[in-house]
A and B are shown apart, each in its own frame.
Chain A
Amino acid sequence: GQNIDQPTEMTATEGAIVQINCTYQTSGFNGLFWYQQHAGEAPTFLSYNVLDGLEEKGRFSSFLSRSKGYSYLLLKELQMKDSASYLCAVLSYGNNRLAFGKGNQVVVIP
């Protein structure tokens, strides 16, 4: 099975940079996804990493180290609308199922 760990909550100031970490343990790693979920809404896709390194997409970047079972999501130039829960999810070979972490709640303050 999979074990995915994320810190639960963090507060950051508008305009700042925040890093959200995710560690995982799985057999047959086949990709890691980051989703954003605003309160009461469905998760929306942010990024996908399957190879080591950094993927940049506008203000959001995601990093993966397969050997360390570690990923982070970097949010730059924080905006109030970035207040949300950020979910890390791991895909394993041989199935089509994503295993989600509990999510990290980011609160952006003025």
Chain B
Amino acid sequence: SQTIHQWPATLVQPVGSPLSLECTVEGTSNPNLYWYRQAAGRGLQLLFYSVGIGQISSEVPQNLSASRPQDRQFILSSKKLLLSDSGFYLCAWSQEGGSYNEQFFGPGTRLTVL
């Protein structure tokens, strides 16, 4: 069976510090991978999406970046965090290709920027 992991689960960082959040998927190959952010009182916002190693699509301009160094690893980074980066960060995966594209979410990372 497939599983998706995220770490850390919670993180408190000062403004201007760097960020690295990691997501890994097990039990599948060539997944589509996604990073979402959910700010308080707001919906899920898609940040990045990837269909393969080294292939990253950015959905919104921001001070965050994403990388996919391995097939089942997706990393969200920032060089300098802003207060507005606080939120609940969710990684998700879906099967490669296909029209039925259910996404499976990881447990999330709650980031507080102070």
Interface residues of A (CB under 8 A from B): 30-31, 33, 40-45, 48, 50, 87, 89, 91, 96-103
Contacts of A42 in B (CB 8 A): 90, 105-108
Task: Please determine whether B110 and A96 come into contact, CB atoms closer than 8 angstroms.
Answer: no
Whether A31 lies near B99 (C-beta < 8 A) is yes
Q: 6 tightest CB-CB pairs across the interface, nearest first? A: A102-B43, A42-B105, A100-B44, A96-B32, A100-B43, A43-B105
For the complex, is B63 an interface residue (Cβ under 8 Å from A)? no
Ordered by A's residue number, 28 sampled pairs between the chains whose C-beta atoms are within 8 Å are A30-B99, A31-B99, A31-B101, A33-B102, A40-B88, A41-B108, A42-B90, A42-B105, A42-B106, A42-B108, A45-B102, A45-B104, A48-B100, A48-B102, A50-B99, A87-B43, A87-B44, A89-B44, A96-B51, A96-B94, A96-B101, A97-B46, A97-B49, A97-B59, A98-B46, A98-B101, A101-B43, A103-B43
B102 / chain A contacts, CB cutoff of 8 Å: 33, 45, 48
Residues of A within 8 A of B94 (CB): 96
User: B107 near A31 (CB under 8 angstroms)?
Assistant: no
Between A45, A96, A102, the greatest number of chain B beta carbons within 10 A of the residue's beta carbon is seen for: A96
Distance (Å) between the CB of A107 and the closest chain B CB? 15
Contacts of A50 on B, CB cut-off 8 Å?
A: 99-100
Residue of A nearest to B88 (CB): A40
The answer to whether A91 and B101 touch across the interface, beta carbons within 8 angstroms, is yes
Binary interface profile of B, 82-95, with partner A (CB < 8 Å = 1, else 0)? 00000010100010
In the assembled complex, the Cα of A102 lies from the Cα of B41 at a distance in Å of: 8
With A31-B99, A97-B49, A98-B101 known as contacts, the answer to whether A43 contacts B44 (CB < 8 A) is yes
* Nearest CB in chain A: distance from B23 CB, A: 12
B103 close to chain A: CB less than 8 A: yes
Residues of A with C-beta under 8 A to B88? 40
Cα distance, A39 to B104, chains bound together (Å)? 17
Contact partners of A99 in chain B: CB under 8 A: 46
Complex formed: what's the CA distance from A100 to B94 in Å? 15
CB neighbors of A among B37-55 (8 A)? 42-46, 49, 51
